[in-house]
Chain A
Amino acid sequence: MFKTFYLGIVLGIAAAAALVYLYPVVDLHRESSLIVVHANGGNSESFHIRLPGDRIMAGVSGMAESTPPGLEWPEHDFLKNVQTELFKIRNENGVVIGAASRMSGSPEQHGSFVEWALHLPARGSMFLTMAANPSADGFREGWLRAGTREFLTLQGTVLERFIRLAGDPDSDSTGRIELSAAFVGPAEEVE
């Protein structure tokens, strides 16, 4: 009987080890990546943000109405010329796939800047730096400055555009922000 008991201990250790090793503690939800692959090996993908529904936070000094309700934006001098926003970010099908922050400002020390940090949990993150001023047709061009995991080795450009909601031409806060990315991976030698 003691041999069976000792065998049980060994089996218990083995079973617990197997369970801990094999059971996926974190199993992230994945949406299908809606990427268009081009003949030159590059790919393009579009992300968008619905406003005002996807805006998590809008932080800017002296704002009359806060997002989210109850936000106490710190009134430090160094934040006077800086705007920070947080959003949920969606794929082309309108499904939320991540979160993003957008910082823009014109501090005296460093000049104007517009930047995005996109965090897509199942895929990786991107850091985009944009042109300070948009083009005449409303596009703002940007570049992939850094990426992680799926975006680690990519390089390319991004176009940011704000599309006003049809029938509400005067509003600057309803509509959608579109980010159209065109990335290309590193060149590989063909054997």
Chain B
Amino acid sequence: MKYLISLLVGMLIGATVFVLVLYYNPFVGNPSVSPLAVSKLDLVDLSYSLVSSDSIVLTNDGESHVQTHPAKVLQLWEPAVKNTRGLVTILTDGRGEPAGLGVKFSSDSERTELINSKVLVESVWHIYLPERGTFFVDQTENYWSYLRDIVVSARLNSGDNWRGSWHRITTVGPGALGTARVTGSTGDLADTQAEAVESILARAYSAITGPVAITGNLTIALPHQNESK
């Protein structure tokens, strides 16, 4: 009997050690420096708030702790879209001035691998910038660091919240350097391809209501105006 108990206790400790190593693994995580940082292309910085009430429309399956906005918006409860979120938001430029309108759809990815610290999300942006035209951005994002450093930390905190200053790149593909793919449609960038990177700057998160002070940032590396045609 004592051998069985020691085996079970050992297995419990082994499983706990594995989970702790997986969770605290310092060798994984999202970078905080953009692969576009050294780009010589024109960079367009667009920001938006991840706070539900700051959005024009935010919809999900209705069971998330992040409230939909407005409250009576149609929810994505059907089985095929249950893991999908839709966001419509005003995008602001580097000076905080409204620069355009963005629609973002994101869905949990079946390529998620917890053992490799990958919590992947497939997302697309449909963007209208009056100064530039319209774009489509498709990307794969990794939310492992966001979940570990912010969401889980908030849940473990006795006050059910997290505060601090946290910045990470979430885009991990499909570009070879971990960049998103941008397809221009109208305006200056009609028929051009470009790259983009999305990042998150977090300052406060509540385990009960979701993002409190969190900003998303989409940096698009556009060809120079005379090269884009």
Residues of A within 8 A of B (CB): 1-2, 4-17, 20-21, 24-31, 54-57, 59, 68-74, 76, 78-79, 82, 84, 86, 88, 95-99, 101, 103, 105, 107, 109-111, 113, 115, 117, 119-122, 124-125, 127, 129, 145-146, 148-149
| B94 sits at the interface (CB 8 A) | no
* In contact, B13 and A86 (Cβ under 8 angstroms): no
* In contact, B181 and A28 (Cβ under 8 angstroms): no
Q: Which residues of B contact A117 (CB under 8 A)?
A: 103, 105, 124, 126, 136
Contacts A28-B110, A78-B100 known; A119 to B10 CB distance under 8 Å? no
User: CA A149 – CA B139 in complex, angstroms?
Assistant: 11
Interface centre among B12, B72, B185 (most CB of A within 10 A): B185
User: CA A57 – CA B128 in complex, angstroms?
Assistant: 16
* Closest Cβ neighbor of B126 among chain A residues: A117
Contacts A84-B88, A113-B134, A117-B126 known; A11 to B107 CB distance under 8 Å? no
5 contacts between A and B (CB under 8 A): A12-B10, A26-B110, A28-B107, A78-B100, A113-B134
Partner of A56, one of B8, B59, B112, B181: B59
Number of CB contacts from chain A to chain B under 8 A? 224
Contacts A25-B112, A109-B187 known; A72 to B56 CB distance under 8 Å? yes
User: CA A145 – CA B82 in complex, angstroms?
Assistant: 27
Mask, B68-112, CB within 8 Å of A = 1, is 001111101011111110101010000000101101010111101
Q: Which residues of B contact A8 (CB under 8 A)?
A: 6-14
| B15 sits at the interface (CB 8 A) | yes
Whole-angstrom distance between the Cβ of A98 and the nearest chain B Cβ:
6
Q: Which residues of B contact A56 (CB under 8 A)?
A: 57, 59, 73-74, 86
* In contact, A99 and B6 (Cβ under 8 angstroms): no
| B186 sits at the interface (CB 8 A) | yes
CB contact list, B104-131 vs A, under 8 A: 105, 107-110, 112-115, 119, 122, 124, 126, 128, 130-131
* In contact, B74 and A88 (Cβ under 8 angstroms): yes
Q: Which residues of B contact A119 (CB under 8 A)?
A: 84, 105, 107, 124
Q: Which residues of B contact A68 (CB under 8 A)?
A: 57, 70, 72-74
| B195 sits at the interface (CB 8 A) | no
* In contact, A78 and B130 (Cβ under 8 angstroms): yes
Partner of A26, one of B9, B83, B90, B185: B83
| B18 sits at the interface (CB 8 A) | yes
Q: Which residues of B contact A98 (CB under 8 A)?
A: 80-81, 84
User: CA A91 – CA B227 in complex, angstroms?
Assistant: 40
Partner of A9, one of B13, B59, B107, B186: B13
User: CA A6 – CA B59 in complex, angstroms?
Assistant: 49
Partner of A16, one of B2, B14, B74: B14
User: CA A73 – CA B122 in complex, angstroms?
Assistant: 27
